[in-house]
Structures are given as structure tokens and as C-alpha cells.
Structure 1
């Protein structure tokens, strides 16, 4: 959970690990969108994944209409890997799967 100085909930990050990747879920209080906090949340997410899951791929799902979130994720290095229709509690919706692959560097002597 991400809280403000008054302990009000501002956002969250959820991690679910499987064999191939870590699926993350995240959200930010709508009133706080557009203030650069999404970029901060993405940095926290990537740092926490690195600590917890080493070099595993990070994946997330986002509804296709959420253009602001998609732009934030792309700015953070996530790439679209799939687009699909999926059932939700209130019907069916179009989702986008995005993945972040950490770059590995080797030092040559």
C-alpha cells in the first residue's frame, strides 16, 4: 500500500509470482493521477521486483481504454505483448498485457 502523510490510501502494488514471470497489479487514486506519481510508483515496483524476484520478467494487465496508464507503463520500459478479450465481474472487456524485461550487462575485459 502507498499512503500519504495522513495515512490515507493513495495507491497499491500487488505481486503474484509464477514460473515464467511476476504478474503485478497496481492502482493509483484517480484524484492523484496526472501529477507524476505513476512514474514514482513504477520505479518502486521495479525496484521491489528486483529485490524479491531477481531477474524474472515483470508482466501486468491493463484495460485497453486506460490510455494514461498505458503511456506511463511504456515510459517505464514496458512493452505490449498481447491484446485479448476477458470476462470481468461486469461483463467482458479488452485487456492489454505488457512486459518489462530487465537488461543484463556483461563487462568485457
Structure 2
């Protein structure tokens, strides 16, 4: 599978923010579920040149954001189009994002945080080589949730 990364446009950010809706407990990931995240995602200045749409066969399948948090550490955020989640493409999608981060930023370490109830995503991240670290509590989406820090070290 070939995934192509392109800098996200404002129109694409708005489409993702307002039309991507996940089922059940995964509605936690709807952009509109947290106003602070929504504002940040829709602000081109805050999104910068480090948020990318991911295309497969010219079709939008997801997005990745990359944030440099230390000299050689990149933190990633990602989202897969709701109708594609749970279909078995998650590992290839995550590996494509990691490969893009490696070739673009040459980090020594890649980190991400995932809500602990998302066992499906945690399994994918582990298969991609991420190791579980500590957990932390964070206020988001109108409540308090436990998150797991995960790290991929080279």
C-alpha cells in the first residue's frame, strides 16, 4: 500500500472536523467533542506545516500531525477516517506515518498518547513497535480520561 502525505488545507481540516464521526465510545475522537481541540485543529497557524492528510489511491484515508517536543523527539497525533477504522488497515497506516516521520524529521524517538480504553489502537501501536510507558489523567471532552504514553525508540 502506498500512502501519500500532503500538507493539510483549511478546507480539508474543516471537512475532517465537521464530517468525521466515530461510533460508540470512539465518538471520543470526534473533533467536535472537545472545543479546545477543535479550535486548534481549525487554526492554520496552530496546525502549521506539520499536519498532513494521508491519501491512498488519491482518496483521503486519514491525517497525521507531528510536533517536535525535544531535540530529537517527535510526538504524533493521528486519525483514520471513521469508516476505515477496525478494518485491518491500521497497522499499515501507522507504519506509513512512522516512515514519513523518520524520513522527514529523522528523530531518535517518536511518542504518542492514546486513551486507555482504546485497546484496538494500543494493539496496533504495539505491533508497529511502540512500547507502553506511564499513564496520566487528562481533562478532555467534558470529562477526565486516562491516557497511555507510548514510545518508539531507534
The TM-score, its normalising length taken from structure 1, stands at 0.82
Aligned counterpart for 2:83 among listed residues 16, 31, 37: 31
CA distance in 1, matches of 2:129, 2:144: 28
Across the aligned residues of Structure 1 and Structure 2, the Cα RMSD in angstroms comes to 1.7
Which residue number corresponds to residue 47 of structure 1? Answer: 99
SS of alignment partner, residue 18 of structure 1: strand
Q: Which runs of 5+ in 1 are unaligned?
A: 103-109
How far 1:37 moved relative to its partner?
Answer: 1.6
SS of alignment partner, residue 87 of structure 2: coil
Which residue number corresponds to residue 13 of structure 1? Answer: 64
Structure with greater contact order relative to length (CA < 8 Å, sep ≥ 6)? 1
Stretches of 4+ aligned residues off by more than 6 angstroms:
none
More helix by share: 2
How many residue pairs get matched?
A: 101
